[in-house]
Amino acid sequence: MATRVEHDSMGSIEVPAEHYWGAQTQRSRQNFRIGGRMPVEVIQAMAQVKWAAAVANRDLGVLPERKAEAIVAVAREILAGDLDEEFPLVVFQTGSGTQTNSNLNEVIANRGNESLGEASLHPNNDVNASQSSNDTFVTAMHVAGYAAAVDEVLPAVTRLRDSIAAKAELWADVLKVGRTHLMDATPLRVGQEWSGYAAALTDAIANLERQSSGLLEVALGGTAVGTGMNAPAGFTPAVVAALAEVTGHPFVPATNPFAAQATLDPMVRSHSALKDTAVALFKIGNDLRWAASGPRTGLRELRIPANEPGSSIMPGKVNPTQVEALLQVCLSVVGHDVTVSMAGAEGNFELNVFRPVVIDCYLRSASTLAAACESLRENLIEGTELDERRLRDNVANSVMVITALSPVVGYEKAAEVAHLAIEEDLSVRDAAVRCGLDPHLVDNLTTAALGNG
């Protein structure tokens, strides 16, 4: 492989001649060969940060127009995906993300110099002007995390919620037997049960919106420890305003830059909302696979789409595979939340150095959760039907309609009827007659109970 010699503060090093990265990127490649690459969303967010910094530095007289334009031009190329192969560094590197920041600085400088036709752009002096890895990387985390939450997760969960709500309306008048403790309970309507699922997701959506809004405060402008050292007066409001314009999201300077750089609390809270959404989805998914169990000896209340064969040995078997995929995603999100929480707790003094793993976990959670919601909606919810005959039979055979008798004949007498019906496999009406109750009373109360279910 052809190489060229690049220099940094530690000396000279050979780098692949066909790539734009420089000495610090190459050192990281050699010293950290652990796991997968930094997510492209982080690289693109960093490019937006560099774009915003170039604009602010130009406006404040730190960079000449031509240098700022060259930086912006390369940032555009990065956002278009034209330079993806120039960012080879892994997630598990320095905890501040310094090496990824350096990777961006070097690629932008070398590619920019190529377009300028001269070696005038310097990765540190120009591309990184008025910045530090300590304020740029965490800002990029917020940019990437917020976009993932509002552009991927929220729309996907909202569409799933709406699909479930449509089923609740469709099945608003269908009676079924309720269940508590996995045992028969009083009747309700299928629409009421599914309205509960929709409401749970509505709450999750509101929580995710609220917690993700905390990512709109960014540390950019704080440089090394939050003081803004080496940045010109007015840089923070200028660069954050430019970032808001570049991204299309209303980012603002952090209320307290020291907290913004010393902690990862906004990321922790936002990921917690992803976890809370996963918890809500897990409950809903679990109910769906129980309700669809069968086709002969299970609950058999739902008929789910037969998307693929369910067994390599049992012909005709259909499994709730979409739900199983969703539940696995939910478990992974809960696991990521443990990592994010522990990482957030590990900051020391003026800097948290567990940043790369946090944004990697966050983006994995967001992308898989969004995809799982879309898949469940498209491949299960929209094609699911009720087994209404089974539901009618269950209601007709339910013992818990006897609850309607309790206010009239007392709890103990009603319990006597229930136990007799269960032990001797009798209808509630027959058991009530055996216990000396008026059958017409039982009929009237049962009808009223079902009518108000």
70 C-beta neighbours (distance < 10 Å), count = 25
Confidence of residue 441 (pLDDT cuts 50, 70, 90): confident
Q: Do 380 and 300 share a structural domain?
A: yes
Q: Do 217 and 366 share a structural domain?
A: yes
- 432/394 Cα distance (integer angstroms): 19
For range 69-75, the mean pLDDT = 98
pLDDT of residue 291: 98
Residue 393 is assigned to a structural domain of this protein:
no
Q: Residue 180 is part of a domain; what is its CATH number? A: 1.20.200.10
The residue annotated as part of the active site, out of 7, 115, 311, 419, is 311
Residue 257 is assigned to a structural domain of this protein:
yes
Does 105 have pLDDT greater than 90?
yes
Q: Residue 78 is part of a domain; what is its CATH number? A: 1.10.275.10
Q: Residue 422 is part of a domain; what is its CATH number? A: 1.10.40.30
Residue 202 is assigned to a structural domain of this protein:
yes
Catalytic-residue membership of 249: no
Per-residue H/E/C for 295-323: CCCCCCCEECCCCCCCCCCCCCCCCCHHH
Q: Do 419 and 281 share a structural domain?
A: no
15's enclosing H/E stretch is strand 11-16
Catalytic-residue membership of 311: yes
Does 251 have pLDDT greater than 90?
yes
Does 294 have pLDDT greater than 90?
yes
Residue 302 is assigned to a structural domain of this protein:
yes
Q: What is the pLDDT of residues 52-67, one digit of tens each?
A: 999 999 999 999 999 9
Final residue of a domain: which of 388, 412, 440?
A: 388
Q: What is the pLDDT of residues 113-145, one digit of tens each?
A: 999 999 899 999 999 999 999 999 999 999 999
pLDDT of residue 40: 98
Q: Which residues lie closer than 8 Å to 412 by C-beta, 6 or more apart?
A: none
Final residue of a domain: which of 335, 360, 388?
A: 388
Does 451 have pLDDT greater than 70?
no
Pick from 369, 384, 367, 372: which is nearest to 307 by CA?
Answer: 384
Count how many domains the chain has. 3
The residue annotated as part of the active site, out of 9, 12, 181, 440, is 181
Q: What pTM did the predictor assign?
A: 0.95
For range 188-213, the mean pLDDT = 98
Q: Do 50 and 186 share a structural domain?
A: no
Give DSSP secondary structure letters for 224-267: TTSS-TTSPTTHHHHHHHHHHHHHSS--EE-SSHHHHHH--HHH
Does 24 have pLDDT greater than 80?
yes
Q: Do 278 and 324 share a structural domain?
A: yes
Q: Do 411 and 367 share a structural domain?
A: no
Does 31 have pLDDT greater than 60?
yes
Token readout for 390 is 């089974």
Q: Do 178 and 94 share a structural domain?
A: no
Confidence of residue 401 (pLDDT cuts 50, 70, 90): confident
Q: Which residues lie closer than 8 Å to 163 by C-beta, 6 or more apart?
A: 377, 381, 382
Distances (CA, A) of 360 to 46, 336, 365, 370: 14, 9, 9, 16
Q: Do 140 and 124 share a structural domain?
A: no
> How many H helices and E strands in the chain?
17, 8
Token readout for 356 is 């790369």
Residue 104 is assigned to a structural domain of this protein:
yes
Final residue of a domain: which of 97, 129, 161?
A: 129
Does 452 have pLDDT greater than 60?
no
pLDDT of residue 453: 45
Q: Which residues lie closer than 8 Å to 432 by C-beta, 6 or more apart?
A: 402, 405, 417, 439, 441, 442
Q: Do 265 and 201 share a structural domain?
A: yes
Q: Do 194 and 59 share a structural domain?
A: no
Q: Do 424 and 376 share a structural domain?
A: no
Q: Do 140 and 125 share a structural domain?
A: no
Residue 394 is assigned to a structural domain of this protein:
no
The domain of 343 spans 135-388
Residue 297 is assigned to a structural domain of this protein:
yes
pLDDT of residue 108: 98
For range 387-410, the mean pLDDT = 89
Does 334 have pLDDT greater than 50?
yes
